[in-house]
Amino acid sequence: MADAHPGLPEFDYIRPASLADASKFLADHAGEARPFMGGTDVFVRMRDGIWKDRYLVDVKHLDGTSDLRFDPKLGLTIGAGVPMNTLIASPEVQEHYPLLAQAAKTVAAYQLRNRATVVGNICNASPAGDTIGACLVYEGIMIVYGPSGRREEPLRTFFKGPGQTVLSPGDIALAIRLPIPPAGHAGRYLKLGRNRLSDLAIVGVTALGYPDPETASGFRFRLALAAVAPTPLVPDEAEKILAEGPLDKATIAKAAEAAMNASSPIDDVRGSARYRRLMVRNLTRQAVDLVVAELS
């Protein structure tokens, strides 16, 4: 029988002196070089023989990647190399982006969060990534350095499929920027896993709500679903139903049903597609209920 963990293969560790060098190296070695931050996905996949890169390019010491900055006008900039524990402990994250701290706390265990980064979680593009939903509902924008210089990529259009993003060889994610959240917002991340520690989500539901006098219900909601589609999923129809209101049990149940219908999960070791769909409905209802209770 094939060994599920054949062990780390030989590879060269590359530590470029500048972003330009890093980008050039990655572009010149497309298909055999990979950037990494915490390495908590990269080294596991290399060990398991899934990825076979010849070069691992350490990009976490490069320009601005270790910054965590809050600006009352621009919002929060999370450098790609900022470990999740640093983020969780930040008073500014706790005050202005509590949903992100809440979601990051559900990732594995404390030790892993000392290495794992939010940008790595996003670039890994697993549909089950726990911090992606919070970054989506906070309307995150990825700052990328590539062969043609710097550019911004909205998270909403960042994911192309499981493990696939808009990034091309030579692109390095520098930071994720989260704008100032809407006034009076409340949020919840509900994660269903097989145990309370160290497991990927069977289903994850992120809900953020805030007062909005322009909607019929008086509130607007942003939702994101994890582990129930090839990419992290925004259930637009459910958001629309909640905006149209009235914000009562029947409307919330209808929105939860719409979230379930938007999902297209698969069967895997963590749960069946049918179970996942039903859990999308139940967790969406619960998450929205909790947010509504906090907003009232």
Ligand X SMILES: Cc1cc2nc3c(=O)[nH]c(=O)nc-3n(C[C@H](O)[C@H](O)[C@H](O)COP(=O)(O)OP(=O)(O)OC[C@H]3O[C@@H](n4cnc5c(N)ncnc54)[C@H](O)[C@@H]3O)c2cc1C
Q: Which residues bind ligand X (CB under 6 A)?
A: 34-42, 44, 59, 80, 107-108, 112, 115-117, 119-121, 123-124, 129-130, 167, 172-173, 198, 200
* Nearer Cβ to ligand X (192/288): 192
- Write down the least CB distance from residue 152 to ligand X, Å: 14
Of 61 and 249, CB closest to ligand X: 61
Q: How far is the CB of 119 from ligand X (least distance, A)?
A: 6
CB of 131 to ligand X, least distance (A): 6
Residues β-bridged to residue 223: 207
Amino acid identity at 34: R
Nearer to ligand X, 22 or 255 (CB): 22
Query: What is the spatial distance between Cα 121 and Cα 141, in angstroms, rounded to a whole number?
Result: 14
Cα dihedral 43/47/50/51 (nearest 10): 50
For 13-20, the CB contacts below 8 A with 24+ separation are 13/56, 13/58, 14/55, 14/56, 14/57, 14/58, 15/57, 15/58, 15/61, 16/57, 16/58, 16/59, 16/62, 18/62, 18/63, 19/59, 19/62, 19/63, 19/145, 19/172, 19/174
CB of 180 to ligand X, least distance (A): 24
Residue with smaller CB distance to ligand X, 46 or 241: 46
Residue nearest to ligand X (CB): 120
Minimal distance in Å, beta carbon 167 to ligand X? 6
Shorter beta-carbon distance to ligand X: residue 110 or 179: 110
